[in-house]
Structure 1
C-alpha cells in the first residue's frame, strides 16, 4: 500500500483544543533530617512558582528528610507527617496553587505489631483540599523493602483535579509499564512522578560501563512512557552536589517533544513551563493507544502471577 494510503495517515488530529497548563517542577537537595529547613526551601519555591502563574508545583520524593532510616530520630520525624501535610494544604490555599509535595513518609501504629511506614504522594488542589493520595507500590530493593510497606495489590488510583484526570507514581514505579497502563485505562492524561533516583542506584558492573547509566535510563524511559501511553509526565527528582551521586534531571515530558524542560544534576533548581495538553490529544489521535485499550477484545492481561500470594510487607 502506498504511504499516502496507509491507515495511519488517515487518523485525524483532534478538533477540540485541549488546555495548556503552567506547571513548576522543583528539584531540591533534601538536607538529611532537617524537615523544617527543607519545608522552608520548598515553600519558597512554591511561592515563587505561584507568582510566575504556575497552576501546579511538584516536589521530589523524600524531600523533607532525605532517606536516613537508620538515624535515631527518623521514626519520630516520620510520625510528624500530618504537621507537614497540613502546612502544604495551607500553602496551596494561600498561594492558589495545586501542590504535589513530593512524598511524605508516614509512620502509622508506631511500636505495635501493625507498625507501618508508608511513602505517600498527595495531590493537593488550589483550595487546600486533598484530591487524591498514592502509596508507593514498587519498592527499591532491600534499601526500601526492609523499612517500607508497599500498597501491594491496591489499584493505582486516578484523581479528578483542576488539571484534569491525574495519576501519580513514585520513583521505581517508573520501571513498570503495567502501572502506566492501569492509569491511562482509567483516563489519566497527566502522570506525576516524585523521585529520589541517584546515579549510584546502578550496580558496579553498570557504572564501569557507563558512570551516568541511570541518567540514560531516566531520559530514555520518560520519553518512551510518554509515547507508549500518549500521556504527559512531570518528573521531580532530587539533586545534589557534584560527585555525590545525585542524578537530577527533573523534567516535564510530552510525546512528540520529549523533555519540554530538563534540569541538570545540580542541587537546587526550578523550571516553570507551559504544558500543552493538545500534544497529548494529537499523539492519541495518531497512535490510538487509549482507543485500543478501551476495546472489549483487547488481548493483553497484566495480572501477572495471580496464583501466588502477595507479601504486603514488600
Structure 2
C-alpha cells in the first residue's frame, strides 16, 4: 500500500475557503502517483485552536468535507482519511469527527474523537467525546482511527487490535512544544500493538500554537519508515501490510498476553 500524508500548514492568515483551494491543489499534484491511501490532519479546515470558529464551521457528517473530498477519492482512485472536522448532529451536539472514503468515494465509516484535550484547551468544553473506537473495514484490512490526544491512551489502541486492526490512522494537531512526546507515542503505539501506524500532523501557527509537523509512518516493530520535518509537505510511504501478521507470528507478544486482575 502506498500512502500519502498531507502535512498541511494551518495558519490564521488563511481563511478556511482559501485552505480548501490549497488542499485541492495538493490533491491534484498526487495524480499519476498511484497513491492508495491519503490522509489529512486534525481540524485542518477550522484550525484546532480557533475555538471561536467551531460553531461557524460545523457541518453534518454528510456535509462539506465529505462532499468535496468524494470526487477526489474517485479521481485519484484512493482511500481518503478526511482529517477531522466539527460534526454537528441533529440533537445539537458537536464532535471532532474523522471519516474514511474508499476509492469509489463511498463512506466506509467515521470516528468521533474519544479523548478531548483539556490542558490549556477549550476542546473539552465545546465538543462531546465519542463513545466508540473507530475500526473501519477497508480494502487494506481493518484500519483503526484515532485523533491526536488519543495517542496518550494505549488501551484505545489495544481495543482496536482486539477488534482486528493491523493499521492505525492517526490525525493530529500536535504542538511543537511536545514533539518528543509525539515521536515516542507514535512508535510505542505501533510497537506494543505490532501494527502499522500512519500519523498525519499539521504545521504552521494556528491560534498561537505552532504545529509540530513530523508526520510519520511506523512499522509493527517500531521502525520509523518515513518521517517529515516541520515544513508543509506530502509524506509518501510504502507499506507491506502483510508484515504485521508475519511479525506477530515471529514475535508473538500479543498472543502471550496474560489477563490481569
* Fold conserved between structures, TM > 0.5: yes
Other-structure match for 1:254:
219
State whether structure 2 residue 139 is matched by structure 1 residue 162: yes
TM (norm. structure 1) is 0.75
Which whole-Å CA distance do the structure 2 matches of 1:278 and 1:178 have between them? Answer: 24
Other-structure match for 1:210:
none
Moved over 4 A (4+): none
Which whole-Å CA distance do the structure 2 matches of 1:39 and 1:192 have between them? Answer: 21
Other-structure match for 1:49:
30
Instruction: Kindly indicate whether the alpha-carbon contact (under 8 Å) linking 2:30 and 2:76 is maintained by their aligned counterparts in 1.
Output: no
Instruction: Quote how far apart the aligned CAs of 1:255 are.
Output: 2.8
Distance 1:244 1:139, change over 3 A: closer
Distance 1:69 1:257, change over 3 A: closer
Other-structure match for 2:95:
118
Structure with a larger share of its residues in strand: 2
Q: How does 1:1-314 map to 2 (within 5 A)?
A: 21-32=1-12, 34-67=15-48, 68-71=50-53, 74-79=54-59, 82-109=63-90, 114-141=91-118, 142-151=121-130, 154-200=131-177, 214-240=178-204, 245-256=210-221, 258-266=223-231, 268-292=232-256, 298-300=258-260
Distance 1:300 1:186, change over 3 A: farther
Distance 1:281 1:265, change over 3 A: same
Two-structure CA RMSD over aligned residues (Å): 2.0
TM (norm. structure 2) is 0.90
Q: Cα deviations across residues 260-314 of structure 1 (Å, max 9, x unaligned)?
A: 1111112x10112211223322321133234346xxxx4147xxxxxxxxxxxxx
Instruction: Quote how far apart the aligned CAs of 1:168 are.
Output: 0.2
SS in 2 for 1:149: coil
Instruction: Kindly indicate whether the alpha-carbon contact (under 8 Å) linking 1:31 and 1:38 is maintained by their aligned counterparts in 2.
Output: no
Instruction: Quote how far apart the aligned CAs of 1:186 are.
Output: 0.9
Equivalences, count: 254
Instruction: Kindly indicate whether the alpha-carbon contact (under 8 Å) linking 2:112 and 2:132 is maintained by their aligned counterparts in 1.
Output: no
Where structure 2 has 5 or more consecutive residues not aligned to the other structure, the ranges are: none
Where structure 1 has 5 or more consecutive residues not aligned to the other structure, the ranges are: 1-20, 201-213, 302-314
Instruction: Kindly indicate whether the alpha-carbon contact (under 8 Å) linking 2:166 and 2:244 is maintained by their aligned counterparts in 1.
Output: yes
Instruction: Kindly indicate whether the alpha-carbon contact (under 8 Å) linking 2:5 and 2:40 is maintained by their aligned counterparts in 1.
Output: yes
The structure that has the greater radius of gyration is: 1
Which whole-Å CA distance do the structure 1 matches of 2:222 and 2:159 have between them? Answer: 23
Instruction: Kindly indicate whether the alpha-carbon contact (under 8 Å) linking 2:191 and 2:222 is maintained by their aligned counterparts in 1.
Output: no
Instruction: Kindly indicate whether the alpha-carbon contact (under 8 Å) linking 1:61 and 1:170 is maintained by their aligned counterparts in 2.
Output: yes
Which whole-Å CA distance do the structure 1 matches of 2:148 and 2:55 have between them? Answer: 22
Deviates more, 1:226-235 or 1:35-44: 35-44
Instruction: Quote how far apart the aligned CAs of 1:116 are.
Output: 1.2
